[in-house]
Structure 1
């Protein structure tokens, strides 16, 4: 059957889902390239046989400007897909769900919907509460029109609790097993630490206090990749402290895994004051588990429970510079890093392996298609 995924900004998980389903179905992925990274995605995409199509319209990173561009995305998606022979439409965010609901009225197709992040929770706190309330009610109303809902973890269920949904499946944001293990630990014979971060360069991700901690710590280096509002800041800091900070720009997910594998520590910080961060299900956690790397994150968010229960990393107070620098010192011990990494890897194999998620995804798509 013909499946089309639609996402309003680059998300490596969409490509992974598409590649998994392509083993048994015809799949196309349509992406709004709002950051101008389509050439990098195409050049570095690990799924060479996956059909990708881009809406190349770059927009400013300021949040208040973005909504003015949504109608152009909706129109593009509708026109692009109207005459296509499609059996299943699968949007990955509210921005993409809206035009697909209109399309569903004109075509006999099934509509599946993945909620990676509940839209209202992503709205900055500076905006009126009434706006978040409106968007929350809108998404809850619209998702009831879908034939099936996918969530990336159980913490997201509260967002849709009480909604009249036809079906629900959990597919975790976990990476495929690259077979790159924690063997890198054996080569470390000094106390030098290599830290890696890849993701959104934003104030809500603890970028500035991470960089400050690295600069103020001896024999600690940071490689950082991604795009976002703090990109200019990161670029200037890396030029000022080239021996401590390396900015890699936007890189493919395959390269993210390569740099993660060669790092000693993975970091993932989320400001718990932001509602969406409290239930964050970050790729970085699952990548650390898969690669057998210890992770440093912060308390007050959902992944705290995983890290604490499995003892696969260190938790600090968000923004606490002293605690972060102390964590660096604790993890200078290569044997401790290896022990924490092994516990994380064990959890990945037991619960979060992509092999399990892929099988689940193929089975549910097959079952739903037969209904």
Structure 2
């Protein structure tokens, strides 16, 4: 099945291919990319629909004269057909969706065979269209491993964009422990081979310390500064006068949002407004049915995400500190909270928690334990009179260190330096 959606004349044209097989013939369409002026990029992501970071990077590249073809891994049972314009640009964006079902948050063992099948199909896809792009922008090890093989064989440039360091974000238990060192060695080779490597926080320099990248840049997963009230896809909330906690993102045990929902369900005068996908999505949906102060919205567009978060009072960025990768994380929830000026709840030794303590812009839970999260939440509620001061501090910090305008400059610099 192939679905084509075109958005109005002079606007973004988006073509989404749902590929039941990697050998589906789309050459009669994709050849148009060759004729477009400017640098040609094959953007490879391991998730479809695209996460917020790829959306922002693709939008930025398109708006500044690059031609982008995006191929992504569709991991759900059914092929989602995009019905809303995901990017705001004035050049052509062409995308392919390779369907290979897997389990979000299911771990390494459950997903190893879907991953291998996706990588084989991705290799064939990139090989077949090798004359249609100059640069492979590969997100995470799942696509970078294949991207490196193609780049080296066919003389393409490779930008390796590391959202999460693979071996620290997956659990290798039992006999699989032997694989951890092998996978990391391969990943290090890919990092060293890439023409440029992008990481999402300063901390990740330490995480990839075994590697020697040719060019290394830090690009935080921060939102562009937008006027939320002008967004078309507004989320409307009916409740008034209650404290609102908002979370949109991955829902699984690594991000203890179910614990947070259970805490909030027991407290009067506070609501949880939650959206997202993952193994815990159904649990949150069930809680929303059983408790009047728990709301679940399913999956939202990025525009809707910012709209919902802007209407909330507190934004949690909760990660399990027992997972090594979470120490190095740079949560987009953290950056979104800065831009919106919303106080944060984080867990000690995860992501950007030191900023919360240093600038006094929220509360830190001592662990992912349910009681510790509850204590942090209640402390932050008790400090309601300080929220306005926190908001000003956060927005100044965003402008000074985390603005998307600065991240755009860094992205362009990467592409300038690998010419």
Superposed, which structure 2 residues align to 1:56-135 within 5 Å? 56-61=99-104, 62-63=106-107, 64-82=109-127, 83=129, 84-124=131-171, 126-127=173-174, 128-135=176-183
| Match among 172, 188, 198 for residue 220 of structure 2 | 172
For residues 142 and 190 of structure 1, what CA distance do their matches in structure 2 show? 52
Task: List gaps (5 residues or longer) in structure 1.
Answer: 182-188
Residue 312 of structure 1 corresponds to: 361
Output one character per residue of 1:17-69: Cα deviation in whole Å (capped at 9) or x when no partner: 11111122111221111135863655251336533221123324433231111
SS in 1 for 2:297: strand
Q: TM-score scaled to structure 2, two decimals?
A: 0.80
- Count how many residue pairs are aligned between Structure 1 and Structure 2: 361
Matched, 1:353 2:398: no
What is the RMSD computed on CA atoms of the aligned residues?
Answer: 2.2
Q: Matched residue of 2:222: which SS?
A: coil
Q: 1:218 aligns with which of 268, 272, 279?
A: 268
Residue 363 of structure 1: how far off its partner (Å): 2.6
Deviation at 1:364, TM superposition (A): 2.6
Query: Take 2:343 and 2:228, find their aligned partners in 1: how far apart are those partners?
Result: 15
After the TM superposition, which of the residue ranges 243-252 and 278-287 deviates more from structure 2?
243-252
Which aligned segments of 4 or more residues in structure 1 are displaced greater than 6 angstroms? none
1:257-336 mapped onto 2 (5 Å cutoff) = 257-332=306-381, 334-336=384-386
* Post-superposition CA distance 1:86-138 (Å, at most 9, x none): 11111011110122122123322111101111100111264543332222222
Corresponding residue for 2:294?
245
Higher normalized contact order (CA 8 Å, seq sep 6+, divided by chain length): 1
Which consecutive residues of structure 2, in runs of 5 or more, have no partner in the other structure?
A: 1-38, 230-238
- Asked whether the equivalents of residues 217 and 325 of structure 1 are also in contact (C-alpha less than 8 Å), the reply is no
Give the whole-Å Cα distance in 1 for the aligned partners of 2:180 and 2:219.
Answer: 26
| Residue 190 of structure 1, CA deviation | 8.1
Contact 2:363–2:379 at 8 Å: present in 1 too? no
**2:349 counterpart SS class:** coil
TM-score by length of 1: 0.90
2:40 corresponds to: 2
